[in-house]
């Protein structure tokens, strides 16, 4: 089976995207287009209007963002600085996310992306628009505000995207959308994305799209006999708690051999580094590695010398390994069929297998798709607590003692025990020995992670109330400056530390410095992102001050650092 070579993003190039955009997605570690991208990109590049059915997490942002940037890049001189593309989204949070994604894909293109959303100061946005913005990403209310104040003009718009149109309708933006669309030229190209093709979506599409092509990702049908027979468990954890939750799960499950799936090469490398920094033996496998490296990693995994393989879907495709006890979806797959494919790597040849999924509250709809496709229940798990881990360790100690007694050769220790038996009860001597062995293991136990453990009400046709909370699905006029705090996790802070890849900093250095200097368990450290000249680390808010103070006293990779903290989004 063909596996891609280093830097191979032919999947994106073959869709017809210009070389700089292919390079941009390659730099982000994407290995191949997701199903919605494969279908939607050629349609949009051909200039058609498009009606797309895709939920969050399927890669839909890139599905419209890449063709949009491709179109604008063809001529960057005409209408320079004017709004040439408008993306309407339902929420402030999504506006920020989409603008960030567009900004990343547009790197080096001279195209400016400006988000405009409610709850943020108007004058700041006006200045940004005045400086020139070819791509505007906004919530309907705020876009309309700018139109009324004449701080935004849509007469040069070549492409309009209505993202999460069903959400916008649910939030009562229908009229606002009509007013905004009326300000754009009739010659524009329009794309509309929604989670379903409900009649109201078709009706808004009928109003604003011209003979659109429909893009719907057909779900693979599988014969029940071929479905993977594995226990499926999902843990509902917020973004900031993923690393801690994963450590906890690995400690509890102590998998004989696990494949952990991430979406991109960069995420694979980062998570592998983080796991190794936390003391797990993990190996990375992705399409950006040389064949020789990949063979070496596979050899280690096959011969059970490495128990954890962190991989992208592309790299793991075609791997035939019998002994995988656990498949862990650290990131959700981009389509339910990919999920089925991933979990099929465990439970082979009658062996017992477990498929574990880390899922953010807003991503829970995915679990329904997974249940439908696998025709099995996905159990919502409760993260093991510190007490659970200790209990599990004692059970393991019991087995080990039993085995050790059977193995014999205990004459020396018997003598020692006999002499102690003059002073103490035999049962106390044995209990003390077990406790001593266990104490050293207990040192690695991390603080309890507060996570959601209840099955949320889920619906196929729209996000639940909890989805809205996590995503910031409130009317855009409500400002929010509080740190993120939801039912499933405590508030987190993001620390910006003034060293990064330029100083050869790796996640392990950051974990080491933070855990070592501030004397906190490494498991409570959240997401880590190492950029060129700085790094971002998520920390529970209550520990932030302690960490900032501790880092001021220390050096990372021989460099003194400055640290700034702000609430995590």
Buried b (16+ CB within 10 A) or exposed e, 34-56: bbbbbbbbbbbbeebbbbbbbbb
**Comparison of 66 and 245: residue with beta carbon closer to ligand AMP:** 66
Of the candidate residues 15, 26, 33, 476, the single one contacting ligand AMP (CB under 6 A): 33
Stretch that binds ligand AMP, among 13-21, 32-40, 437-445, 493-501 (CB under 6 A): 32-40
In a 10 Å sphere around its CB, with 0-12 CB exposed, 13-18 middle and 19+ buried, how is residue 553 labelled? exposed
Rounded least distance, CB 264 to ligand AMP, Å: 5
**Comparison of 329 and 376: residue with beta carbon closer to ligand AMP:** 329
Rounded least distance, CB 552 to ligand AMP, Å: 33
Rounded least distance, CB 471 to ligand AMP, Å: 11
Rounded least distance, CB 103 to ligand AMP, Å: 12
Rounded least distance, CB 57 to ligand AMP, Å: 5
**Comparison of 33 and 212: residue with beta carbon closer to ligand AMP:** 33
Rounded least distance, CB 454 to ligand AMP, Å: 25
Measured in degrees and rounded to the nearest 5, phi and psi for residue 460 equal -75, -25
**Comparison of 64 and 280: residue with beta carbon closer to ligand AMP:** 64
Q: For residue 75, give the 3-state DSSP assignment.
A: coil
Beta carbons of 115 and 138 less than 8 angstroms apart:
yes
Rounded least distance, CB 59 to ligand AMP, Å: 3
CA gap 413, 275 in Å, rounded: 37
Complete DSSP assignment for 391-415: HHHHHHHHHHHHHHHHH---HHHHH
Q: Using CB under 6 A as the criterion, what x/- string covers residues 45-74 for binding ligand AMP?
A: -----------xxxxxxx------------
Sign of CA dihedral 385, 389, 394, 396: positive
Of the candidate residues 48, 71, 239, 263, the single one contacting ligand AMP (CB under 6 A): 263
**Comparison of 60 and 92: residue with beta carbon closer to ligand AMP:** 60
- By CB under 6 A, the count of residues binding ligand AMP is 13
**Comparison of 57 and 67: residue with beta carbon closer to ligand AMP:** 57
**Comparison of 235 and 261: residue with beta carbon closer to ligand AMP:** 261
**Comparison of 338 and 548: residue with beta carbon closer to ligand AMP:** 338
Of the candidate residues 21, 30, 257, 494, the single one contacting ligand AMP (CB under 6 A): 30
Rounded least distance, CB 237 to ligand AMP, Å: 16
Of the candidate residues 264, 293, 438, 498, the single one contacting ligand AMP (CB under 6 A): 264
Angstrom distances, CA of residue 89 to CA of 33, 51, 363, 470 = 23, 15, 18, 16
CA gap 146, 180 in Å, rounded: 10
Structure tokens at 426: 């035999």
Classify residue 313 by its DSSP letter: H
Q: Which residues contact 150 (CB under 8 A, 6 or more apart)?
A: none
Rounded least distance, CB 38 to ligand AMP, Å: 9
CA gap 122, 373 in Å, rounded: 46
Q: Using CB under 6 A as the criterion, what x/- string covers residues 71-100 for binding ligand AMP?
A: ------------------------------
Per the listing, tokens 């509890």 go with: 252
Complete DSSP assignment for 425-447: -HHHHHHHHHHHHHHHHHTTPPP
**Comparison of 176 and 270: residue with beta carbon closer to ligand AMP:** 270
- Contact between 329 and ligand AMP by CB under 6 A: the answer reads no
Q: How many CB atoms lie within 10 A of CB 478?
A: 10
**Comparison of 61 and 247: residue with beta carbon closer to ligand AMP:** 61
Site for ligand AMP in 483-542 (CB under 6 A): none
- Contact between 34 and ligand AMP by CB under 6 A: the answer reads yes
Rounded least distance, CB 477 to ligand AMP, Å: 24
Rounded least distance, CB 33 to ligand AMP, Å: 5
CA gap 524, 542 in Å, rounded: 11
Half-sphere exposure of 180 (CA within 13 A, CB side): 27
If residue 417 lies in a helix (H) or strand (E), which one and from where to where? Answer: helix 411-420
CA gap 445, 560 in Å, rounded: 30
Rounded least distance, CB 267 to ligand AMP, Å: 8
Half-sphere exposure of 192 (CA within 13 A, CB side): 28
**Comparison of 56 and 257: residue with beta carbon closer to ligand AMP:** 56
**Comparison of 22 and 258: residue with beta carbon closer to ligand AMP:** 22
Rounded least distance, CB 295 to ligand AMP, Å: 24
Angstrom distances, CA of residue 56 to CA of 11, 63, 141, 234, 461 = 21, 12, 22, 18, 13
- Contact between 364 and ligand AMP by CB under 6 A: the answer reads no
CA gap 322, 311 in Å, rounded: 17
**Comparison of 33 and 288: residue with beta carbon closer to ligand AMP:** 33
Beta carbons of 524 and 447 less than 8 angstroms apart:
yes
Residues that bind ligand AMP (CB under 6 A): 30, 33-34, 37, 56-62, 263-264
């Amino acid at each position: 089976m063909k596996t891609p070579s280093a830097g191979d993003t032919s999947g994106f190039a073959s869709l017809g995207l210009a070389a700089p955009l292919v390079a941009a997605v390659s730099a982000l570690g994407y290995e191949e287009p997701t199903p919605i991208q494969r279908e939607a990109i050629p349609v949009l590049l051909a200039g058609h209007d498009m009606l797309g059915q895709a939920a969050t997490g399927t890669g839909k942002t890139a599905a419209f963002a890449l063709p949009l940037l491709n179109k604008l890049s063809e001529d960057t001189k005409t209408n320079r600085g004017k709004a040439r593309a408008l993306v309407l989204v339902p929420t402030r949070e999504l506006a920020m996310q989409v603008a960030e994604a567009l900004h990343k894909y547009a790197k080096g293109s001279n195209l400016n992306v400006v988000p405009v959303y409610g709850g943020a100061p108007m004058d700041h946005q006006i200045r940004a628009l005045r400086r020139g913005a070819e791509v505007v990403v906004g919530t309907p209310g705020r876009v309309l505000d700018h139109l009324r104040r004449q701080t935004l003009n849509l007469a040069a718009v070549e492409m309009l995207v209505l993202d999460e149109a069903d959400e916008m309708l649910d939030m009562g933006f229908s009229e606002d959308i009509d007013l905004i669309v009326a300000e754009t030229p009739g010659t524009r190209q329009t794309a509309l994305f929604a989670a379903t093709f409900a009649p109201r979506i078709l009706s808004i599409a009928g109003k604003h799209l011209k003979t659109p092509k429909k893009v719907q990702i057909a779900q693979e049908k599988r014969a029940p006999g071929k479905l993977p027979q594995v226990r499926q468990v999902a843990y509902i954890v917020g973004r900031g708690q993923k690393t801690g939750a994963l450590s906890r799960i690995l400690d509890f499950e102590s998998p004989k051999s696990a494949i952990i799936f991430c979406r991109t090469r960069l995420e694979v490398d980062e998570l592998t580094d983080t796991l190794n920094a936390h003391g797990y033996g993990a190996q990375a496998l992705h399409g950006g590695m040389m064949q020789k490296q990949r063979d070496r990693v596979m050899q280690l995994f096959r011969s059970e010398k490495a128990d954890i393989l962190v991989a992208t879907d592309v790299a793991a495709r075609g791997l035939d390994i019998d002994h995988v006890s656990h498949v862990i979806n650290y990131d959700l797959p981009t389509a339910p069929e990919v999920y089925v494919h991933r979990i099929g790597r465990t439970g082979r040849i009658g062996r017992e297998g477990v498929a574990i999924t880390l899922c953010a509250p807003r991503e829970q709809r995915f679990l329904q798709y997974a249940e439908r496709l696998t025709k099995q229940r996905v159990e919502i798990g409760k993260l093991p607590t510190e007490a659970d881990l200790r209990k599990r360790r004692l059970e393991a100690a019991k087995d080990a003692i039993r085995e050790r007694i059977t193995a014999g050769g205990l004459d020396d220790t018997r003598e020692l025990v006999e002499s102690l038996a003059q002073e103490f009860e035999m049962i106390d001597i044995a209990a003390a020995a077990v406790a001593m062995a266990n104490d050293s293991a207990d040192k690695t136990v991390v603080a309890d992670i507060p996570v959601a453990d209840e099955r949320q009400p889920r619906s196929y046709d729209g996000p639940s109330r909890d989805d809205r909370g996590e995503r910031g699905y409130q009317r855009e006029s409500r400002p929010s400056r509080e740190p993120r705090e939801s039912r499933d996790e405590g508030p987190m802070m993001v620390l910006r530390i003034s060293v990064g890849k330029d100083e050869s900093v790796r996640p392990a250095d950051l974990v080491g410095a933070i855990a070592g200097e501030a004397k906190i368990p490494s498991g409570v450290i959240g997401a880590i992102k190492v950029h060129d000249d700085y790094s971002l680390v998520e920390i529970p808010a209550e520990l932030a001050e302690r960490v900032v103070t501790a880092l001021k006293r220390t050096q990372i990779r021989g460099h003194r650092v400055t640290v700034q903290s702000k609430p995590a989004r």
